[in-house]
């Protein structure tokens, strides 16, 4: 029996599992649950950013959106986030080409660029904590929006 197959309780061989959906399903064809599961929970997209008016370059800050839970790195009100943060970005396959500011580690960006998900991504590791253990998430590195002064004082280079 191969490493990818197993026997059921009757001893019959189970079919081998195919490749994971994110390797075979185009982003535009994913179901809503598949699409949502691509988010690794790093919280990087929920950081305030500053765009240079002259160059268009986007700079990350260590200031988190007021809805970001600073420990879990998840949105406190995901379903209704636009009620509190009207300019919250909705990621979709249609807008991905226009979101060059997404971190290089973002699963949506990686898959859009034809790359593989890293070992720490929860879909690969099977564990939601590996994104934190690998130091990819913003946990422990950001401050709440309510505690920040001018964003210019909070520019960081670590998201990339």
Tell me the pLDDT of the chain (160 aa) as tens digits: 444 444 445 455 555 588 999 999 999 999 999 999 999 999 999 999 999 999 989 999 999 999 999 999 999 999 999 999 999 988 999 999 998 899 999 999 999 999 999 999 999 999 999 999 999 999 999 999 999 999 999 999 986 6
Is beta strand 47-51 parallel, antiparallel or unpaired with respect to 143-144?
Answer: unpaired
The pLDDT score that the predictor gives to residue 159 is 66
The pLDDT score that the predictor gives to residue 152 is 93
Is beta strand 58-64 parallel, antiparallel or unpaired with respect to 47-51?
Answer: antiparallel
Q: Please indicate, yes or no, if residue 15 is contained in any of the structural domains.
A: no
Q: Please indicate, yes or no, if residue 91 is contained in any of the structural domains.
A: yes
Is beta strand 58-64 parallel, antiparallel or unpaired with respect to 143-144?
Answer: parallel
Q: Please indicate, yes or no, if residue 3 is contained in any of the structural domains.
A: no
d(Cα 61, Cα 150) in Å, to the nearest integer? 10
Range of the domain at 32: 21-154
| pTM of the predicted protein model | 0.84
Which tokens hold the place of 83? 């009620």
Residue whose token pair is 């809805």: 67
The pLDDT score that the predictor gives to residue 130 is 98
Q: Please indicate, yes or no, if residue 14 is contained in any of the structural domains.
A: no
Q: Please indicate, yes or no, if residue 16 is contained in any of the structural domains.
A: no
Q: Please indicate, yes or no, if residue 46 is contained in any of the structural domains.
A: yes
The domain total for the chain is 1
The pLDDT score that the predictor gives to residue 2 is 41
């Amino acid at each position: 029996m191969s490493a990818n197959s197993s026997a059921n309780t009757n001893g019959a061989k189970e079919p081998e599992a195919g490749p994971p959906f994110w390797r075979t399903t185009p982003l535009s064809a994913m179901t809503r649950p598949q699409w949502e599961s691509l988010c690794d929970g790093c919280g990087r997209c929920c950081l305030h950013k500053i765009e240079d008016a002259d160059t268009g370059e986007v700079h990350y800050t260590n200031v988190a959106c007021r809805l970001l839970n600073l420990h879990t790195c998840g949105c406190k009100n995901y379903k209704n986030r636009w009620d509190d943060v009207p300019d919250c970005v909705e990621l979709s396959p249609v807008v991905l080409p226009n979101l060059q500011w997404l971190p290089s580690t973002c699963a949506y960006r990686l898959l859009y660029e034809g790359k593989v998900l890293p070992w720490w991504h929860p879909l690969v590791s099977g564990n939601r904590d590996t994104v934190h253990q690998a130091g990819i998430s913003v946990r422990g590195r950001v401050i709440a929006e309510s505690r920040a002064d001018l964003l210019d004082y909070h520019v960081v280079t670590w998201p990339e």
